[in-house]
Structure 1
Amino acid sequence: MARARGNPLKGVLDGGSSTRRSRGLFSFIGEVWTELNRVTWPSRETATRLTMLVLAVTVVAAIFLGIWDFGFTQIADRYIN
């Protein structure tokens, strides 16, 4: 893991100047951009397939929970009324 250079809170805790803060912001954005370029992104086909899988599992879970909720509501209504 890379070690941070210097104190990451320098300029934040003491107020710092706006130019120091803006340089820090641009540096941060540049580092984020560099890391995003290093990521191995999935292909469009893989991303679409996995998205469909997540949606299908969500629908199945919603149906399952809906059936359980309906069943418990029916049982509770019989005992309450």
Structure 2
Amino acid sequence: MARSFKSMFSFFSESWAELKKVRWPNRKELTNYTLIVIGTILFVAVYFWVLDIGISAVIEAII
């Protein structure tokens, strides 16, 4: 049991050390990344919406 606690504390200690190495984005970078993600999501959503309308129109024309 003592070994499991030791390995657990070792894991958290090593994780904390790795987090200190991370270069976190500043506010401007974070805003840019967020806008890129939202823009990409909107583009993909509109693309599939238009594709869905097109496929539905083709199916309606066949039926």
Same-fold call, TM cutoff 0.5: yes
| Cα distance between partner residues in 1 of 2:35 and 2:16 | 28
Where is the helix percentage greater, Structure 1 or Structure 2?
2
In structure 1, give the amino acid aligned to 2:55: F
| Cα distance between partner residues in 1 of 2:5 and 2:60 | 62
Give the corresponding residue for 1:37. Answer: 20
Deviations 1:24-74 (A, max 9, x none): 011001100001001111112101211111111110110011101111111
Structure 1 alignment gaps of length 5 or more: 1-17
Structure 2 alignment gaps of length 5 or more: none
Q: What CA RMSD, in Å, does the superposition of the two structures yield over aligned residues?
A: 0.9
Quick one: percent identity of the two aligned structures?
A: 29
SS of residue in 2 equivalent to 1:25: helix
**Count of matched residue positions in the alignment of Structure 1 and Structure 2:** 63
| Cα distance between partner residues in 2 of 1:52 and 1:22 | 43
| Cα distance between partner residues in 2 of 1:71 and 1:42 | 41
* TM-score (norm. length: structure 1): 0.72
Q: Does 1:70 align with 2:57?
A: no
